[in-house]
Structure 1
Amino acid sequence: MSQYPRTFSHIGLSVPNVDAAVEFYSKVMGFYVIMPPTDVTEDDSDIGVMCTDVFGPEWRKLRIAHMATGDRVGIELFEFDGNYPPENNMDFRRNGTFHFCIQDPDVEGLVEKIVAAGGKQRMPIRYYYPGEKPYRMVYVEDPFGIVFELYSHSYELTYSSGAYSSQGQDPSQTDE
């Protein structure tokens, strides 16, 4: 079997209010609504059985919406019955997912929109190659406490240029 890179299909986010999350992610982030908020209950329906397989018995009910980014990556928004926020929404030492990243060439403008909609800017906007290239990044939170990152340029463009070396040069390509 050939080895090839797989594509990223979607990410699921647990939110306290799916209607408010759809509003934020569509109006602020520009994501498309593929399926509006829908109620799902623990029962013998196909989706009910699938959810029981995933969440185990006694999950009772949830609301779900499906959205998509401009490059067709899906965003599933879940509102679970009895949901609660984590004690630490940036527990980076805990194994598992601790952020995702959205790309927008106008990082500054998007940060302003996020903050105006009730989100937070977690750090100053930083340059990967100050004075050399316009590649920028920042961590933010949506109004529901979900942490994510913003990039001005693509992942592969940013990191193929040696983002962590002292002067943006790939350390393996030095004359030493």
Structure 2
Amino acid sequence: MSAYPRSFSHIGLSVPDLDKAVKFYTKVMGFYLIMSATEVAEDDSAIGRMCTDVLGAGWKKLRIAHLATSDRIGIELFEFEGNYAPDNNLDYRRHGTFHFCIQDPDVEGLTEKIVAAGGKQRMPVREYFPGEKPYRMVYVEDPFGNVFEIYSHSYELTYSSGAYQEEGAV
């Protein structure tokens, strides 16, 4: 049996205000809204049973919206009853997801839009390979405390050897 890479389908984000999050992720980030905000109840419906399987009994209700990036990656936004912001939005020592990454050639421009919409810039924009490759990155936070990174170039180009060479270079 040979190993092969699988494609990435979606990521789920918990937010305190689904309507504001949909507005942020569509207007600022440019994602497509593919399913408007929907309420899901803890009941015997198929989706109600699926949520209970994952969340356990007693979750009562939630709201969810589905968005997509230009390269077909899904963004599920969840508003859970009684949700709260963690003390540290970047608890990097905790096991589990600690960030996701969005690609935009205008790292600085997107960062400015995020900050203007109530998000945070967590660091200065940095070059990955100063003087070698024109690849930039920055960590930011959405207005709801979700930390993510912005890359100027694709992941595989950023980390592959020889992915960027001046014309005529050997």
Taking structure 1 as the reference length, the TM-score comes to 0.90
CA distance in 1 between partners of 2:126 and 2:2 (Å): 39
Letter in 1 for 2:142: D
**Pair 1:35 & 2:38 matched:** no
- Paired position in structure 2 for 1:10: 10
CA distance in 1 between partners of 2:109 and 2:62 (Å): 34
Shift of 1:109: 0.4
Structure 2 matches for 1:44-123, cutoff 5 A?
44-123=44-123
Letter in 2 for 1:130: P
Letter in 2 for 1:49: R
CA distance in 2 between partners of 1:5 and 1:131 (Å): 32
Letter in 1 for 2:11: I
Taking structure 2 as the reference length, the TM-score comes to 0.93
CA distance in 2 between partners of 1:124 and 1:160 (Å): 24
Shift of 1:132: 2.5
Unaligned runs of 5+ in 1: 163-167, 169-176
- Paired position in structure 2 for 1:133: 133
CA distance in 2 between partners of 1:103 and 1:146 (Å): 16
Unaligned runs of 5+ in 2: 165-170
Letter in 1 for 2:113: K
Letter in 2 for 1:158: T
Shift of 1:3: 2.0
- Paired position in structure 1 for 2:168: none
- Paired position in structure 2 for 1:148: 148
